[in-house]
Chains A and B, each alone.
Chain A
Amino acid sequence: MLTVTRRLATLAVALLAGFASPNAAALSLAEKASLQAAMQRHIDRQTVDGAFLQLDLKSGAVRPLHPVTAHPMVLRMGKHYVLCFEFRDDKGKDVEIDFYLARKAGSYVVFHTAIGSRHILKRLMAAGRVVRSE
């Protein structure tokens, strides 16, 4: 029964995923964990006194953002990946930061960081450039 269910489910998801993105490819559990670890280590390396510093290019102000929790969702953008982490500023306001990662020598590195720019990611998802990774 479970085998049949699994096959049917796989078929349904494959159909839906196929409609959503023909380039979507499955990531193993270890690769997903590796991506999460790469993001975590990148954040650790970038933090100063436990805070991720954001520079406001207009005002020149630096805003410290404190890491709260990692979003489990892994998005795929071509051969690159997008992961999210939730931060909180000193005023208690939540700020979401999207990390764009690339594969490098059996591991992953962050090549772009988008702070509070969720609309960019949504636009890319709407255009089908970014999809949820299986």
Chain B
Amino acid sequence: MRDARKAARRRAGLRPGRPWNGLLAKFLVLLTPVFLVLAIPGIGFLIHYELSVDRESLAARIGNGAARAAIALARHDPERNPRLARDFLAPLAADRAFLCAELRAGDRVVAAQPPRQGCKTLTAGHTLALPIGEDGRLTLVMRFSDAELKKAEELQSLVSYSVVGIAFLVALLASFVGFRLIVTRPLRLLTESIRHTAETGERQPIDLDTRDELGMVIAAYNEMLARDGERERALKIANAKLRDSQSELAHLNKALERRVAERTGALETEKLRAETANHAKSQFLANMSHELRTPLNAIIGFSEIMGKEMFGPLGNPRYRAYVSDINLSGEHLFHLINDILDLSKIEAGRIELKEEVIDFAEIAASALRIVSERAEAADLTLDNQLDPDLVRIRGDRVKLKQILVNLLGNAIKFTDPGGSVTIRAWSPDRGGLVFQVIDTGIGIAPEDIATAMARFGQIDGALSRRRAGTGLGLPLSQALAEAHGGSLELQSRPGFGTTVTVCLPEARAEAAGGVEKRAALARE
């Protein structure tokens, strides 16, 4: 357990430090040399200063004492009165530095202190010689010791260094105790709190009321703990709300999935039913259209024979008009049935494209020939603006021509006399083929375009009747374009005309060629 805690601390970077790595050791390592560098020379200087003062005092004491003795001796005649001379020398012995003194006349000793001994046996100490009187015949020679200076120096050194050493030890002890109280304790509390938080995740504020820098650190740490606690509480509340929301969302999702599944099932059932019905309808229409076309061919053929009066005149002009109406109605009905049949095939998935390489200019010329008579009858101008460099395309010649005839027929149908119908085609850079049928007709309102594109979706019933349309041309053309992998788009503006754009994809493009032929067709 203890090892595990140590390992956890080591992982968290909280390994306890050695005493010699502590702040106190670093502080002392810095402080001690500074103290020693300043204290030892300082004490040495003071001792030396005191010693020099003591030396000067000793010199002054000895010099003045010897001088006074010399002055006193000079006032008398010491050679004649040696006893008096000894009396003058005797007070010199009162000085503790005094070693010996001799009053000399040349090499002869007149008087000595200590008496009869003088400086005969003494060689140590310092010598001071003073002439007596002005003639210089007598000399006072005195020897003195500086032992007191050495003793004073030793005593001063001992006392000074003892005091400094004790002061240093006391300062060390005070630093140790003070450091533990002022620095170590707050740091220990802080470290323990951090460790506790690292090991248990619990936040443990530090109860320490100090106003120094470490106190500020601890106060900031306590504030951080408090803020973290508040943040954690807020996060817990948010988490609880999030969990509730997730639970509610999951519940709603399940309900939604259940409803979607139910709806999807119902829709699939409905779709299957509708597809089945639509398929049956298309099948029925295809069959019915085929069945209708057989008698209709007879009606159209016989009415045409009758209109041409191949077997004799009809007589009454009204009969001719009726026969013409029968023929026209038959033709209309025939086209209607063909369109319905084609749409039914497409819806039934039975449309089959007879793929071949074709020249679109040739198809366009053929379509224009088909509608040219109707355009002329409606007093419209047909304009062919095919790009001479059109690429050849692969597709169903009949279906593409059917698209063009449908679009041109619609354009002629819904353009007033004096207007124009233009066919344009070009090969875009991305490949494929684009062709447009543009008219200057009545146009379609934007909101009616979707209706116009719907099957049997002619916008205006009266107009449809007047313009003799079935409303199947556009949706059929769109279905045929899409069968070629392309698209059909209608843009219109009421009163200005309509533009229908058909795009065939790049995959439909073949190698370029037949330019000359296209040019010839364009001239036609």
Contacts of B66 in A (CB 8 A): 33, 37
- Kindly provide the distance from the CB of A12 to the nearest chain B CB, expressed in whole angstroms: 4
**When the two chains form their complex, are residues A37 and B70 in contact, meaning their CB atoms are under 8 A apart?**
yes
**When the two chains form their complex, are residues A33 and B62 in contact, meaning their CB atoms are under 8 A apart?**
yes
Bound together, the chains give a CA A53 to CA B392 distance in angstroms of 149
Bound together, the chains give a CA A30 to CA B55 distance in angstroms of 10
Bound together, the chains give a CA A73 to CA B47 distance in angstroms of 17
**When the two chains form their complex, are residues B41 and A8 in contact, meaning their CB atoms are under 8 A apart?**
yes
| Given A5-B157, A8-B40, A33 contacting B45 (CB threshold 8 A) | no
Pick from B43, B59, B146, B157: contact of A36, CB under 8 Å: B59
Q: Mark B33-52, 1 if CB is under 8 A from A, else 0.
A: 00000001111110111001
Q: In chain A between 58 and 85, which residues have their CB closer than 8 angstroms to a CB of chain B?
A: 70-74
Q: In chain A between 87 and 134, which residues have their CB closer than 8 angstroms to a CB of chain B?
A: 107, 132, 134
Q: Mark B45-75, 1 if CB is under 8 A from A, else 0.
A: 1011100110111111111101110110000
Contacts of A20 in B (CB 8 A): none
Q: Is A13 an interface residue (CB 8 A)?
A: yes
| Given A70-B60, A74-B56, A44 contacting B67 (CB threshold 8 A) | yes
Bound together, the chains give a CA A29 to CA B42 distance in angstroms of 25
Bound together, the chains give a CA A3 to CA B126 distance in angstroms of 22
- Kindly provide the distance from the CB of B87 to the nearest chain A CB, expressed in whole angstroms: 19
Interface size class of B (residues with CB under 8 A): 35 or more
**When the two chains form their complex, are residues A41 and B67 in contact, meaning their CB atoms are under 8 A apart?**
yes
Contacts of B63 in A (CB 8 A): 32-37, 39-40, 70
Q: Is B154 an interface residue (CB 8 A)?
A: yes
**When the two chains form their complex, are residues A30 and B71 in contact, meaning their CB atoms are under 8 A apart?**
no
**When the two chains form their complex, are residues B67 and A37 in contact, meaning their CB atoms are under 8 A apart?**
yes
Q: Is A48 an interface residue (CB 8 A)?
A: no
Q: Is B130 an interface residue (CB 8 A)?
A: yes
**When the two chains form their complex, are residues A41 and B70 in contact, meaning their CB atoms are under 8 A apart?**
yes
**When the two chains form their complex, are residues B59 and A33 in contact, meaning their CB atoms are under 8 A apart?**
yes
Q: Is A54 an interface residue (CB 8 A)?
A: no
**When the two chains form their complex, are residues B45 and A72 in contact, meaning their CB atoms are under 8 A apart?**
no
Bound together, the chains give a CA A34 to CA B63 distance in angstroms of 6
| Given A37-B66, A37-B128, A32 contacting B56 (CB threshold 8 A) | yes
- Kindly provide the distance from the CB of A96 to the nearest chain B CB, expressed in whole angstroms: 15
| Given A41-B67, A41-B70, A36 contacting B45 (CB threshold 8 A) | no
**When the two chains form their complex, are residues B68 and A29 in contact, meaning their CB atoms are under 8 A apart?**
no
**When the two chains form their complex, are residues B45 and A16 in contact, meaning their CB atoms are under 8 A apart?**
yes
Q: Is B360 an interface residue (CB 8 A)?
A: no
Main secondary structure of the interface of A (DSSP, over half): helix
Bound together, the chains give a CA A92 to CA B44 distance in angstroms of 40
Contacts of A1 in B (CB 8 A): 157, 161
- Kindly provide the distance from the CB of B126 to the nearest chain A CB, expressed in whole angstroms: 4
Residue in B closest to A10 when the chains form the complex, CB atoms:
B48
**When the two chains form their complex, are residues A36 and B41 in contact, meaning their CB atoms are under 8 A apart?**
no
Pick from B53, B62, B144, B157: contact of A2, CB under 8 Å: B157
- Kindly provide the distance from the CB of A73 to the nearest chain B CB, expressed in whole angstroms: 6
**When the two chains form their complex, are residues B48 and A36 in contact, meaning their CB atoms are under 8 A apart?**
no
| Given A10-B48, A37-B70, A2 contacting B64 (CB threshold 8 A) | no
Q: In chain A between 1 and 59, which residues have their CB closer than 8 angstroms to a CB of chain B?
A: 1-2, 5-6, 8-13, 16, 28-30, 32-41, 44
Contacts of A72 in B (CB 8 A): 53, 56-57, 59-61
Residue in B closest to A41 when the chains form the complex, CB atoms:
B67
- Kindly provide the distance from the CB of A1 to the nearest chain B CB, expressed in whole angstroms: 8
Bound together, the chains give a CA A94 to CA B334 distance in angstroms of 158
- Kindly provide the distance from the CB of B166 to the nearest chain A CB, expressed in whole angstroms: 16
| Given A2-B154, A5-B161, A30-B128, A74 contacting B59 (CB threshold 8 A) | yes
Bound together, the chains give a CA A5 to CA B146 distance in angstroms of 19
Bound together, the chains give a CA A21 to CA B41 distance in angstroms of 20
Contacts of A12 in B (CB 8 A): 41-42, 44-45, 48
Residue in A closest to B69 when the chains form the complex, CB atoms:
A37
Bound together, the chains give a CA A41 to CA B157 distance in angstroms of 37
**When the two chains form their complex, are residues A29 and B55 in contact, meaning their CB atoms are under 8 A apart?**
yes
Pick from A28, A38, A39: contact of B126, CB under 8 Å: A28
**When the two chains form their complex, are residues A29 and B71 in contact, meaning their CB atoms are under 8 A apart?**
no
Bound together, the chains give a CA A30 to CA B146 distance in angstroms of 10
Pick from A6, A8, A39, A44: contact of B71, CB under 8 Å: A44
The interface centre, meaning the residue of A2, A29, A70, A107 with most chain B CB atoms within 10 A of its CB, is A29
Bound together, the chains give a CA A19 to CA B68 distance in angstroms of 38
Bound together, the chains give a CA A68 to CA B131 distance in angstroms of 24
**When the two chains form their complex, are residues B127 and A30 in contact, meaning their CB atoms are under 8 A apart?**
yes
**When the two chains form their complex, are residues B52 and A36 in contact, meaning their CB atoms are under 8 A apart?**
no
Contacts of A32 in B (CB 8 A): 55-56, 59-60, 63
Bound together, the chains give a CA A2 to CA B126 distance in angstroms of 23
Q: In chain B between 64 and 98, which residues have their CB closer than 8 angstroms to a CB of chain A?
A: 64, 66-68, 70-71
The interface centre, meaning the residue of B56, B131, B144 with most chain A CB atoms within 10 A of its CB, is B56
- Kindly provide the distance from the CB of B472 to the nearest chain A CB, expressed in whole angstroms: 122
**When the two chains form their complex, are residues A9 and B67 in contact, meaning their CB atoms are under 8 A apart?**
no
Pick from B41, B71, B126: contact of A40, CB under 8 Å: B71
**When the two chains form their complex, are residues B44 and A5 in contact, meaning their CB atoms are under 8 A apart?**
yes
Bound together, the chains give a CA A9 to CA B44 distance in angstroms of 4
Residue in B closest to A32 when the chains form the complex, CB atoms:
B59
Contacts of A41 in B (CB 8 A): 67, 70-71, 130
Contacts of B146 in A (CB 8 A): 29
Pick from B47, B58, B131, B157: contact of A29, CB under 8 Å: B58
The interface centre, meaning the residue of B47, B63, B67, B128 with most chain A CB atoms within 10 A of its CB, is B63
Q: What residues of chain A have their CB less than 8 Å away from a CB belonging to chain B?
A: 1-2, 5-6, 8-13, 16, 28-30, 32-41, 44, 70-74, 107, 132, 134
Q: What residues of chain B have their CB less than 8 Å away from a CB belonging to chain A?
A: 40-45, 47-49, 52-53, 55-64, 66-68, 70-71, 126-128, 130-131, 144, 146, 153-154, 157, 161
In the complex, besides A10-B44, A33-B62, A41-B71, 5 extra interface pairs with C-beta distance below 8 angstroms are: A9-B41, A12-B41, A13-B45, A30-B127, A33-B58
